Amino acid sequence: MPLLIVTLPPPPVPAGGEFGWVMWSSDGRKYRSRGSALPSLLPTSDEVTLALPAAALSWHQVTLPQGSLSGATRLRAVLNGLLEDRLLDEPDSLHFALEPDAAVGKPVWVAACNRAWVRGAVQSLGGICANDPQEAVYINASVDVDGEPLSGDATYRILIGAGEFPPCDQSRHGFWSITLYNSDYNLVPESRNYSINGYYPDYQKRLPDGAMVIWVCPTRPATMPDGEYWLQSPAGDSFYLILRVYVPEPSVSETQSWRPPAIVQRP
């Protein structure tokens, strides 16, 4: 498979923004093509490299003490201590990357960048390594309709109106699903209400007007009539949603004229 290099836009990651990309031969020696596209329409490849803009990085040279490389947790703590006085931001808000073949007792270079920016970019690129847009499109959301980050302590309402469900080719067994992940990119521990799959009979009931409502909150709503469903969010943590549309119609995979339903915070 060819090598796909995706260039991240400068922080913050723009909602609905395009990413630059370049395709190279599998050995990295021959240029093939380049362009820019929304995350869901980027070329696919088994090997993807993310390129960060230089302006988003700061570089620092440090000498690692003995035992620094004994584990990720230990290394993170050491870097936090070594770099705390050199950084404009709090160390916990940053992502660190060591130069290749770093060793203790010798000067090494460390790159630092905004952790939330990298996380948001990775989330928005979910699925580009696996599916052709004609087979599946993944649409990620980490903010609500007002642009505020999704919080596990808040309550959100997602209304999918009749005739506004994700368009997919059901004659070819197309379907859609929405899955919730916590800030560590995992399902919420101990929760069974982490996904809604439109293919399953359990999720095919509708409100009298043909619509569906999805509540996203840490505890189950007291009452939910037929046609309303619940996704359990992680209390005390942020989260994001991935809407997957399998065998999507062109309005999803090509023209993008279909828009996902709004995520609205409720009191």
Q: So where are the chain's domains? A: 1-130, 133-266
Q: 219: burial class by Cβ within 10 Å (0-12, 13-18, 19+)?
A: exposed
CA atoms within 13 A on the CB side of 226: 9
The per-residue pLDDT for 40 is 67
The per-residue pLDDT for 29 is 80
Cα 77 to chain centroid, rounded? 26
The per-residue pLDDT for 130 is 45
The per-residue pLDDT for 206 is 96
End-to-end CA distance of the chain: 49
User: Distance between CA atoms of 211 and 128, rounded to whole angstroms?
Assistant: 30
CATH number for the domain whose boundaries are 1-130: 3.30.420.380
pLDDT mean by block of 10 residues, the chain; 267 residues: 81 70 81 79 75 89 90 83 83 85 91 83 62 75 92 97 93 89 81 89 93 97 95 94 90 88 95
3 state SS for 86-128:
HCCCCHHHEEEEECCCCCCCCEEEEEEEEHHHHHHHHHHCCCC
CATH number for the domain whose boundaries are 133-266: 2.60.120.600
The per-residue pLDDT for 23 is 86
H-helix or E-strand spanning residue 252: helix 250-253
Q: Which amino acid is at 201?
A: P
